[in-house]
A = this chain, B = another copy of it.
Amino acid sequence: MKRIGILTGGGDCAGLNAIIRAVTLRAIQEYGWEVYGIYQGTHGLLRRPVGAMKLDLSFCTGNLLRQGGTILGSTNKGDPFVYPMTDGTFKDVSMDVIEGYHLLRLDALIGIGGDGSQDILRRLAQRGNLNLVTIPKTIDDDLSHTEHSIGFMTAVDVATEALDRLQPTAASHDRVMILEVMGRDAGHIALATGIAGGADIILIPEIPYQMAVVAHRINSIREQGRNFALMVVSEAVGTETGEKAKVMDREGRARYGGISQYLADRVTDLTGAETRFTVLGHVQRGGQPIFQDRVLASVFGVHAVDLVAQGKFDRMVAWQNRKVVDVPIQQAIGGYQAVDVKGSLVNTARGLGIYFGDEKN
């Protein structure tokens, strides 16, 4: 009988609990193993006694499949190799994390995370000779080697619903409505949301934009007799000149709504249009996973356990071409999946008349 651990690292998203459920069901029902859920990513392994709970089948009934967030907790602070101490210094605590793994007497660890978390886990696994399998999750969907990561599709679903709601109020009041969506570096959420929600303009970090083109698009819409416009903007987009948009307060601290406020001001300046914006924020993360995230989470969870059973470690599970596969972690996190600016979705958006603010429109 094996003992396996499972942890969730980095920002939370919809579908994490569905993975935890699938791993627990598979490990116990098929293999008769014990499953330990580790609290707050690698931090649970740092605590003494180790922060973890035994997961059994009773966790898997009821609502876990449908529940947003992660019952294990997560954190995106603190790489154990350069761990922030309370005195402001940094320390390598990686051996303590590895010790935590051994204190739990684990035979293997299933780590759920984005590229950053997986990279840390992999370095821990190498240093400590740990048996690691990873599962990709990120609402940004910027991990390569898998068609989708857990959390992305629910985030787009929530953002599309928001755009559906902004459209009537924009139309009723002749406004330009800006919806700012998540996506730390990649524009996937903005691109899919913009197509699905009928945006006129989509701004993503992969395509530099010019305000003159944006303003031209808004003006041409109005000349055609439509009195409103919808813009979707990735939070990763900067100002026209590529700087990070900031609203500074009186004390000089950077403030919320930077890029949206910047764009709203510029649009008003250039077109005279009444402009409003919504920064959708964390509602994109915590909702109930939609069916695809639940299905994909189930697929990934079962396959990860099977990899452990087969002794195939240092691999990330992935979805390719309607099949679950697995790839070396190193290879998976080495790649990066930005929006393909010549891909089918960008072409479709352009084909619908959506502007990205560049000269191609």
Contacts and interface: CB of A to CB of B under 8 A. Distances in A.
A63 B74 contact: no
Contacts of A162: 283
A180 to B, nearest CB: 11
Interface residues of A, number: 95
Interface of A: 8, 11-12, 16, 22, 25-26, 29-30, 57, 61-63, 65-70, 73-76, 147, 153, 156-158, 160, 162, 164-174, 177, 192-193, 195-198, 224, 226-227, 247-250, 255-257, 260-261, 276-283, 285-287, 290-292, 294-295, 298-299, 302-303, 305-306, 321-324, 343-345, 347-349, 351-353
B165 A283 contact: yes
B173 A75 contact: yes
Contacts of A279: 256-257, 278-279
A8 B157 CA distance: 26
B281 A278 contact: yes
A306 B351 contact: yes
Given A255-B247, A256-B257, A294-B196, A286 B169 contact: yes
Nearest to A286: B169
Contacts of A348: 22, 295, 298-299, 302-303, 324
A217 B278 CA distance: 29
Copies in the complex: 4
Given A171-B69, A196-B294, A302-B348, A276 B282 contact: yes
B169 A352 contact: no
A15 to B, nearest CB: 11
Q: Across chains A and B, which 9 residue pairs bring their CB atoms closest together, nearest first? A: A69-B168, A169-B286, A302-B351, A68-B168, A196-B291, A12-B172, A69-B172, A168-B286, A165-B287
A229 to B, nearest CB: 11
A351 B74 contact: no
B168 A351 contact: no
A173 B353 contact: no
Contact of A291 (B62, B160, B255): B160
Given A256-B261, A323-B344, A172 B299 contact: no
A290 B287 contact: no
A286 B26 CA distance: 28
Given A26-B351, A291-B156, A344 B299 contact: yes
A287 B192 contact: no
Contacts of A197: 65, 291, 294
Given A256-B277, A295-B345, A26 B352 contact: yes
Contact of A22 (B192, B324, B352): B352
B295 A196 contact: yes
Contacts of A147: 322
Given A65-B198, A147-B322, A247-B249, A169 B285 contact: yes
